[in-house]
Structure 1
Amino acid sequence: MKSRTALIGLIGLIGLYIVIVLQIKADTGPEHGEKLEKGDLICQPDVHAKVGEDVTLDCQLKSQRDVTDRSIEWKFNKINVLVYRSGDTYIGVQANQFKGRASKDSSWNLTKGKPAVKISSVQKTDAGEYTCFVRTGHHTISCSTTLNIQSDSAKLAGSESTEMPTTNQGLKSMADMVTLVLGAFAMLYLQHY
């Protein structure tokens, strides 16, 4: 009977060790140098605006992880809209079309993985696909959004705001619960021996 109890206790301790290792791995994810995956970055599919309006192009890391140490680039037809590296925005590499008009949006928050860009006084020539790139060393992830520009007299169809998805913290909470349960089991086991 004692050996069976000891075996169950040992299995519990091994399970606790595995959960702790997995939790540590989760806590040292992409913000600590791991590769980000393609689906980790989300952009609004479409943005609608009228000529002369200001627009925000949203880009959000699903996990809302800190990307302040990453290079962020917004591009339009392979030209630079906004470039951020090492804590600074590089205006010198910005395309003439966007100088003085493209900047970090007020919702820009790299500690929460949100490099949103604002384009002021949009023109018809600004219409098209914009791509947000997040780079770390040799790893790059990206997502794109399409900016549709209507003349002042045109009616905007489907111009409702598109909300960015939020992170579901349920999985992390479940790992914490499993860790607590296994920890309690290990404590009970150790009290008997």
Structure 2
Amino acid sequence: MKLQFLLSILSACCLLSGLDSEEPKVIGSHDTITAAVGEDVILPCHLEPPFDVHNLTVLWKHNGAAVHTYKSRGDNLDAQDKSFKNRTLFFHGEMVNGNISLKLFNVTEQDKGVYTCVVPRLDSQVRKGNVTLEVVPKGKEEEIEDDPTSGPSTDENNLSTAHIIGITIGVIAIIVIVIVIVVKRRRGQQEENPDDTVL
């Protein structure tokens, strides 16, 4: 009876941690994106786990200004700041996979700073992500590429906190179950062979 209760609690904990990890979250970039003046650059942003957002509104902002708006299954550039006119591109075909990255053409010095991608009606606690763009003078990008301390790190393979918690709870649950089974078997063997325990 106690074993069943313990297993029920552990199963509920694993189920709840699994549900929490499945909620789509908007993920920007932890790394600074660097581009030279005049280059094109992709500002990465996606949903994790992948989630189809083509029916939702997606906003990109920079210092409060509208950079790009996707709404009603298409680009809505009426409110776009004039400094970004004809310089942005959304990857429409990738939206079904949760990719809401933005391509920015012909980068200028004024483009540097923090960009925010927002999915306002996403059923999630995390509806926005940030991307920092560093703009360098033309010709300086080679120096940055040669510098091993700069550039993006490879944290794409890192697990999210929710996944780590879920895996940890699962491993602990398995260990507890194995311990309970071993203890029960030993008690059962002792009850079957009471003469063997007394020497």
Q: TM-score range by the shorter chain?
A: 0.5 to 0.7
| Cα offset, 1:101, TM superposition | 1.1
Aligned to 1:80: 66
Which among 7, 12, 32 is matched to residue 18 of structure 1?
A: 12
Number of residue pairs aligned between Structure 1 and Structure 2: 166
Aligned to 1:92: 78
Aligned to 2:128: 142
Between 92-101 and 115-124, the greater mean CA deviation after superposition: 92-101
Aligned to 2:156: 165
- Could you tell me how far apart the structure 2 residues matched to 1:132 and 1:24 are? 26
- Could you tell me how far apart the structure 2 residues matched to 1:152 and 1:20 are? 52
Aligned to 2:105: 120
Runs of 4 or more, structure 1, over 6 Å off, are 137-140, 173-179
Is residue 55 from structure 1 mapped to residue 41 from structure 2 by the alignment?
yes
Q: Once the two structures are aligned, what percentage of the paired residues are identical?
A: 20
| Cα offset, 1:65, TM superposition | 3.5
Q: Could you state the TM-score of these two structures normalised by the residue count of structure 1? A: 0.62
Question: Aligned partner of 1:148: which letter?
Answer: E
Between 15-24 and 47-56, the greater mean CA deviation after superposition: 15-24
Higher strand content, 1 or 2: 1
Q: Could you say if the C-alpha distance between residues 116 and 164 of structure 1 is closer, same or farther in structure 2, counting changes exceeding 3 Å? A: farther
Q: Could you say if the C-alpha distance between residues 20 and 129 of structure 1 is closer, same or farther in structure 2, counting changes exceeding 3 Å? A: closer
Q: Could you say if the C-alpha distance between residues 174 and 45 of structure 1 is closer, same or farther in structure 2, counting changes exceeding 3 Å? A: closer
**Structure 2 segments unaligned to the other structure (5+ residues):** 182-199
- Could you tell me how far apart the structure 2 residues matched to 1:111 and 1:155 are? 33
Instruction: Please say if residues 35 and 41 of structure 2, whose CA atoms lie closer than 8 Å, have aligned partners that are also in contact.
Output: yes
Question: Aligned partner of 2:66: which letter?
Answer: N
- Could you tell me how far apart the structure 2 residues matched to 1:71 and 1:14 are? 40
Q: Could you say if the C-alpha distance between residues 155 and 8 of structure 1 is closer, same or farther in structure 2, counting changes exceeding 3 Å? A: closer
Instruction: Please say if residues 134 and 140 of structure 1, whose CA atoms lie closer than 8 Å, have aligned partners that are also in contact.
Output: no
| Cα offset, 1:20, TM superposition | 7.5
Is residue 30 from structure 1 mapped to residue 16 from structure 2 by the alignment?
no
Which among 91, 95, 100 is matched to residue 110 of structure 1?
A: 95
Is residue 129 from structure 1 mapped to residue 114 from structure 2 by the alignment?
yes
Q: Could you say if the C-alpha distance between residues 140 and 64 of structure 1 is closer, same or farther in structure 2, counting changes exceeding 3 Å? A: closer
Instruction: Please say if residues 91 and 99 of structure 2, whose CA atoms lie closer than 8 Å, have aligned partners that are also in contact.
Output: no
